[in-house]
Chains A and B, each alone.
Chain A
Amino acid sequence: MIKLIGIAIIAAGFALRFNTLLVVLAAGIATGLVAGMPFDAIMEEFGRLFLANRYVTLAAVMMLPVVGVLERYGLRERAETLIRRFTAATAGRMLLLYTGARQVSIALGITSSMGAQATVVRPILAPLAEGAARARHGTLPPAAVARIRAHAAAAENVGSFFGEDIFIAVGAILLMKGFFDDLKIEVSVWAMALWGIPTAVAAFVLMAWRTRVLDRRITRDVAEARPAGTGKP
């Protein structure tokens, strides 16, 4: 039981917002100590594992100069132009379109260097989705605006989480590969990437359901906010 201390340390470290890297090391050291390993041996083992798993980071580093040069010459601006061209009749369909596009682009390994919540959702996606709803319903009540924004953030999370494990060079696939290599179990990165596809498709289908529900709720919010008897503004 005491060997599970590492899990408790990680949970506590996350909850208290300590630096994750240090939390991970602390969890490793504590686990090793309660298992009776001397400190020096833990460092040796961790160092050996860190070296053996260098390739988990490798592809990400090799991609940085490419992405950097392309960003310097307008990659992000070009992507923005393409997203702004999205035209969909409703907020929900707009978000669904974004989730699908995000899944495909991330599955092809085209990732931006910074968090898309700050660089895409807030300045582009949420305003576009709100705009689509306004074009249809006129002024939106605050409840509907909040609903659209929360779903815009969700569209980004769902799109990026359930697209990335299809590309073999992402951290997740390589981490799993490293884990199995260490246990001497032969597993192909391509097999893991291919088996990520059914869930990616299911995530998109479920997103289609959620965005339909969103559109219905926006209509309901608008109807409730409008005093009885008045028609469209």
Chain B
Amino acid sequence: MSLLSLGTFYVLAGALMLATALRVAIDPGHPRRATTALFWGLLGGAFAFGGLLPPRWIGYLVLVVAILAACGGVARSREHTTSPDERLESARRLGNRLFWPALLVPLTAVVGSLGFGRIHWRGIALVSPVNLSVTAVCIGAALALVLALRLTRAPVGVVLAEGSRLLQAVGWTLILPQALAALGGLFARAGVGAVVAGLVEQALPTQYPWVAVAAYALGMMLFTVCMGNAFAAFAVITGGIGIPLIVRAHGGNPAIMAAIGMLSGYCGTLLTPLAANFNLVPVLLLDLEDKNAVIKAQLPLALALLGFNVLLMEFCVYRF
């Protein structure tokens, strides 16, 4: 038994999405009222009550959500917020205190991950030990919200209005990491990793541990360049090279491998025009003539950092 668990916060997060759906549904000025409300309503339902529904329903639900997003059915409403002058004024009044609630979250995450697991009373734990650190971050966010409301003396209704405003600003990209994590699992189930591993083993002498590391880090970078997204590359390359070769065959440390591997993928993000938000949008925003100006500026750093990552992983992954 525990008072707080991930489940508690799934319900809260789902409730925020459902409230957003409701706000959209009753907003006559919304540009895509019905489809946007449906989008947030379905997602909110999946978050809050997903555990009660058959997984197959959730699969179809996510498919509907993706189709709604792809057809441009998800738009933002014009949530009222403060004017720039009001914000400048309160920024002047509150100063750096505005950062306190935000800083409370990492503090709670650290303290909570170490200490929350020890608090219990008559067999009832305060916080469930499953995924304790994520739960600690959520508790931190809840505490930060209370602190933010006290600092700013904002009315409680603002929480929903602002939560809904930002949720709509983030839009469908919110669930992209989650969907990519699920894709990774599906790839694993379908045996994609085994195919990639077979190809790599044919091409490279992976019986040497250092070759496996180099193949993994370079593979993360190259696949990120080709797929445009380090998260997607992670599912393929970690399933295909990292787990079978570094972890299983040579006994490497999965945490070190994954952390440095993901950052090797980011080196690829710095180099690919497919990562438009990072590399092409600024070219337009900054009126640059050369379409590849940002990528060129990043190229030497990305390659040098990739080299560093390979060496770091070579030294550490089999040692710790």
Residues of A in contact with B (beta carbons under 8 Å apart): 1, 3-4, 6-7, 10-11, 14-15, 17-22, 24-25, 27-28, 31-32, 34-35, 37, 40, 42-78, 81, 108-110, 113-115, 117-118, 121-122, 126, 146-147, 149-154, 156-158, 161-162, 165, 167-169, 171-172, 174-176, 178-180, 182-183, 185, 187-196, 198-199, 202-203, 206-207, 209-210
Contact = CB atoms under 8 A, between A and B. Distances in A.
B191 A3 contact: yes
B13 A51 contact: no
Contacts of A1: 195
B206 interface: no
Contacts of B70: 18-19, 21-22
Contact of A117 (B10, B59, B226, B278): B278
Interface residues of B, number: 148
A78 B88 CA distance: 8
A196 B228 CA distance: 21
Interface string B46-85: 1100110011111111110111011000000000011010
Interface string B304-320: 11001100100010000
B270 A161 contact: yes
A199 B308 contact: yes
A141 to B, nearest CB: 13
A161 B266 contact: yes
Top 8 closest pairs, chain A to chain B, by CB: A68-B162, A74-B91, A43-B59, A47-B59, A47-B58, A171-B177, A14-B228, A153-B282
Interface in B235-292: 235-236, 238-239, 243, 247, 254-256, 258-260, 262-263, 266, 269-270, 274, 276-279, 281-283, 285-290
5 contacts: A6-B192, A22-B66, A72-B162, A169-B109, A176-B258
Contacts of A24: 66, 176, 179-180, 183, 232
B29 interface: no
Given A45-B186, A113-B170, A122-B282, 6 more contacts: A14-B227, A59-B138, A74-B91, A153-B279, A176-B234, A202-B312
Contacts of B9: 58, 62
A20 B96 CA distance: 37
Interface string B142-165: 101100110110100011111101
A57 B175 contact: yes
Nearest to A171: B177
B51 A189 contact: no
Given A49-B186, A66-B144, A74-B98, A15 B274 contact: yes
Contacts of A44: 54-56, 59
A20 B176 contact: yes
Contacts of A45: 55, 59, 185-186, 189
Q: Which of A24, A31, A209 has the most CB of B within 10 A?
A: A24
Interface of B: 6, 9-10, 12-13, 16-17, 46-47, 50-51, 54-63, 65-67, 69-70, 81-82, 84, 87-92, 94-96, 98-99, 101-103, 105-106, 109, 113, 131, 133-134, 137-138, 141-142, 144-145, 148-149, 151-152, 154, 158-163, 165-167, 169-170, 172-192, 195-196, 223, 226-232, 234-236, 238-239, 243, 247, 254-256, 258-260, 262-263, 266, 269-270, 274, 276-279, 281-283, 285-290, 293-294, 296-298, 300-301, 304-305, 308-309, 312, 316
Contacts of B256: 191, 195
A7 B260 contact: no
A176 B247 CA distance: 14
Given A57-B177, A62-B142, A149 B288 contact: yes
B145 to A, nearest CB: 5
